[in-house]
Amino acid sequence: MSAAPSETVIREVAPGVVIFSRPFARFGVWPVGGRSTAIKLRSGGVWVLASTPLDAETKAKLQEMGPVKYIVSADAVHHLYLGDFKKEYPEAKLIAPEAAIIRHDDKDLKFDGVWGRDPIDAKYGFEDDIEHLYFPGFENKDVAFLHKPSKTLIEADLLFNLHSVKEQYSRTKQSPRFLGIGGLRFGPNSWIYPRLLWSQGTNKDEMKRDARTVSGWDFDRIIPCHGDVIETGGKKAWNTAYKLYLA
């Protein structure tokens, strides 16, 4: 019996920046899509935001890109596949927010860096290419990443782009129709979204500080874990979504 076709859509969005997009339903009912991102560093290694299954297609693409040197989790809830990635790439550094480590089932998994526990100015080795900022005042304890060469912001739950999830559902018969929040499709331009982000701020002063820092970064593209990539106009999308913090 032949294997079922893969639901993973692999695409290079910029030189050395590859995304792995798949269907995913939050809480099992809300189809928001899922996405991992891999970046080939100028040093030759590969950095991976590991948020989707490590299937055969993903492994093959990562092997093509080079040796995986860093495996990161972007927030408290994007931790399910960290163990699989670390098992496959045992020499890679594993870095995650403290909240993700607390939630992860494998308590024997060893981490080389911990946002929320390490000093705020901690360096992990990939900073020549990728800047990072931990959001302690956000509900899911997210980390924002800036790939400086491609001017790309990469994040998990700090910004959803759920006006569309076409790419993540392009290889599945599952429906991307939204079932949550009254069926509303929301994203940075939705009137409700800045209010939702405001409600997710557990410390408003910290959120104002960190939202402003990201607003000051030099980026045009946003790769979210949930929803379609914002190919251009990303800075405007961020400022619109976070306008209540930036006021």
CB 19 within 8 A of CB 10: yes
> Rounded CA gap, 123 and 75, in Å?
18
Q: What is the number of structural domains in the chain? A: 1
Which domain CATH number covers 198?
3.60.15.10
- Residue 78 CA to residue 94 CA, distance in Å, equals 13
Q: How confident is the model at residue 23 (pLDDT cuts 50, 70, 90)?
A: confident
Q: Tell me whether residue 2 is in a domain.
A: no
Cβ-count burial of 14 within 10 angstroms (0-12 exposed, 13-18 middle, 19+ buried)?
middle
Whether 186 is covered by a domain: the verdict is yes
pTM, entire model: 0.92
Domain of 107 in residue numbering reads as 9-118+126-246
Residue 63 lies inside a defined structural domain of this protein: yes
- pLDDT of 106 reads 87
pLDDT-based confidence at residue 184 (cuts at 50, 70, 90): low
Residue 232 placed within a domain: yes
Give the residue from 6, 33, 9 showing the smallest Cα distance to 176.
Answer: 33
- Reply yes or no on whether the pLDDT at 236 is more than 90: yes
The answer to whether position 163 is within a domain reads yes
Determine, yes or no, domain membership for 134: yes
Q: Is residue 180 part of a domain?
A: yes
In a domain, 4, yes or no: no
Q: Assess whether pLDDT exceeds 90 at residue 153.
A: yes
Calculate mean pLDDT across residues 93-115.
94
**What pLDDT does residue 157 have?**
95
Per-residue pLDDT tens for 30-81?
Answer: 667 789 999 999 999 999 999 999 999 999 999 999 999 999 999 999 898 9
Least confident piece of the model among 28-32, 200-204, 213-217? 28-32
User: In this predicted structure, what is the pLDDT of residue 29?
Assistant: 57
Q: Which two tokens stand for residue 242?
A: 């976070």
CA angle 202, 30, 199 (to 5 degrees): 15
CA distances from 23 to 33, 116, 194 (A): 4, 30, 25
- Report the chain's mean pLDDT, rounded to a whole number: 90
